[in-house]
């Protein structure tokens, strides 16, 4: 097993790989792979993900460029305001991302299951020699052609096989397949898997079943939020459009996490302090014919009028020939929405604070920077400051 250790958005490393390994890594779309200085050597770089994964016989470990506790604050805040406590994460003992999440999962799930497993009613369809619940008449006629038995019935049963337990069991099962989980955490996760064996595993590729917070499942809430994170970030397959590659691992999509945090925090700041309505991924036609659609990350609406537009950029885009693509994008948004000002929010280091006034239009494009290395209180205060800027008229 080959091991490649990388830092997210770092310069990358040059490593020996076979052509098959290089091809599999390229198709996985987790890292970028380019020929190195010598034959048989390849430069591997991580631009988007943080975590750990196994692609064939190559294991990749990608350290996030921000501290793990800061990263988990961003993730938790963006998922319904959850914030995991430091004692749940064991940051001193396990400073790397995957061990931290594995430890957090078994601790949160273990706390949820400290009492007996949560149970609930589930509707079941089955074939039975006796009548329970009610008869499914159409199925009875179709399957048994008028015979009196067996019976096709539908009934409610009180069971542990409910969405909450299915989510927990599947998350534990997925985490056991992730590389770099410590032996102690792996043992505790196996114990939890045994306790949850009465719940069904979720089929790969299917949506996570819905669950609703209630008084009855209060003790499950934190564990379920973390389990949903694990399910979103553990992938059965990855691909670059030219084929699919099996990948076992846990990978956090850093631009998506940053975007979710920015939109969630701005929504709370704007609606809480200034009213109006925040809409995310707001699709509108760009051209009069409606053939081209644009979708800014966030718009702030006051009544029927759109008052502000925001796009979040974790890393400044610098495609060849278009070094200012973010500015062009915001200019298009402002023009189509009839706004005199648009806002870009960068992670500090990707873009710096600046104000650009576009010639012949007077449109202002304001670039803000969020320093993700700061403590949560300071970071949220900076978001509130950006929200205040969104509400002030240009000029």
pLDDT, one tens digit per residue, over 286-321 is: 988 889 999 999 999 998 899 999 999 987 655 544
Taking 50 as the threshold, does the pLDDT of residue 357 lie above it? yes
Which pLDDT score, from 0 to 100, does residue 320 have?
47
Distance CA 22, CA 44 (A): 9
Torsion of CA 91, 96, 99, 103, to 10 degrees: 20
Percent with pLDDT over 70 in the chain: 85
For the segment 164-190, the average pLDDT, to the nearest whole number, is 93
Taking 70 as the threshold, does the pLDDT of residue 350 lie above it? no
Taking 90 as the threshold, does the pLDDT of residue 72 lie above it? no
For the segment 40-59, the average pLDDT, to the nearest whole number, is 91
Q: What angle do CA 319, 320, 323 make, to 5 degrees?
A: 60
Q: Tokens 């070094």 correspond to what residue?
A: 323
Determine contact, residues 236/246, Cβ cutoff 8 Å.
yes
pLDDT, one tens digit per residue, over 257-292 is: 999 999 999 999 999 999 999 999 989 889 888 899
For the segment 339-345, the average pLDDT, to the nearest whole number, is 95
Q: What angle do CA 307, 260, 60 make, to 5 degrees?
A: 150
Strands of the sheet with 41-45, listed across from one edge: 13-16, 41-45, 32-35
Note the helical H segments in 196-239.
221-233
Which pLDDT score, from 0 to 100, does residue 261 have?
94
pLDDT, one tens digit per residue, over 121-159 is: 777 777 767 676 677 767 666 676 666 677 776 767 778
Strand partners, 306: 301
For the segment 170-192, the average pLDDT, to the nearest whole number, is 92
Residue 289 Cα distances to 40, 110, 286, 293, 329, angstroms: 52, 56, 9, 10, 19
Distance CA 181, CA 284 (A): 44
Determine contact, residues 265/300, Cβ cutoff 8 Å.
no
For the segment 115-123, the average pLDDT, to the nearest whole number, is 84
Of 46-50, 82-86, 126-130, 310-314, the one with minimum mean pLDDT is: 82-86
Residue 317 Cα distances to 50, 51, 66, 280, 333, angstroms: 19, 22, 19, 21, 17
Q: What angle do CA 324, 326, 329 make, to 5 degrees?
A: 110
Would you list the domain boundaries of the chain?
1-65+241-252, 120-159, 275-391
Note the helical H segments in 282-359.
325-337
Taking 90 as the threshold, does the pLDDT of residue 168 lie above it? yes
Taking 60 as the threshold, does the pLDDT of residue 385 lie above it? yes
């Amino acid at each position: 097993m080959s091991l490649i250790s990388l830092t997210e958005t770092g310069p990358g490393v040059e490593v020996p790989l076979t052509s098959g390994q290089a091809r599999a890594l390229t198709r996985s779309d987790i890292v970028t792979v380019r020929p190195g200085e010598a034959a048989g050597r390849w430069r591997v770089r991580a631009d988007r993900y943080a975590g750990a994964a196994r692609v064939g016989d190559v294991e990749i470990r990608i350290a996030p460029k921000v501290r793990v506790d800061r990263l988990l604050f961003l993730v938790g805040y963006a998922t319904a305001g959850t914030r995991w406590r430091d004692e749940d994460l064991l940051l001193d003992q396990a400073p790397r991302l995957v061990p931290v999440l594995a430890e957090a999962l078994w601790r949160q799930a273990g706390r949820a299951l400290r009492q007996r497993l949560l149970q609930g009613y589930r509707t079941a369809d089955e074939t039975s020699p006796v009548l329970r619940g009610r008869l499914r008449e159409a199925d009875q006629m179709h399957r048994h052609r008028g015979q009196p038995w067996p019976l096709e019935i539908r009934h409610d049963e009180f069971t542990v096989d409910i969405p909450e337990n299915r989510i927990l069991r599947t998350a534990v099962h997925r985490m056991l397949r992730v590389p770099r989980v410590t032996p102690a955490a792996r043992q505790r996760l196996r114990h939890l898997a045994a306790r949850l064996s009465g719940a069904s595993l979720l089929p790969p590729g299917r949506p996570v079943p819905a669950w609703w917070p209630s008084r009855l499942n209060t003790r499950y809430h934190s564990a379920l939020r973390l389990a949903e994170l694990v399910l979103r970030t553990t992938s059965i397959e990855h691909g670059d459009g030219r084929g699919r590659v099996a990948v076992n691992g846990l990978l956090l999509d850093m631009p998506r996490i940053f975007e979710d945090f920015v939109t969630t925090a701005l929504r709370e700041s704007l609606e809480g302090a200034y009213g109006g309505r925040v809409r995310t991924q707001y699709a509108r036609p760009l051209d009069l014919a409606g053939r081209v659609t644009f979708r800014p990350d966030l718009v702030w609406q006051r009544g029927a009028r759109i008052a502000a537009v925001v796009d979040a950029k974790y890393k400044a885009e610098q495609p060849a020939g278009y070094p200012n693509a973010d500015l062009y994008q915001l200019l298009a948004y402002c023009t189509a929405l009839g706004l005199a000002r648009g806002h870009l929010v960068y992670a500090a280091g990707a873009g710096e604070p600046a104000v650009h006034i576009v010639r012949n239009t007077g449109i202002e494009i304001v670039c803000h920077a969020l320093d993700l290395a700061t403590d949560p209180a300071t970071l949220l205060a900076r978001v509130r400051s950006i929200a205040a800027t969104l509400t002030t008229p240009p000029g």
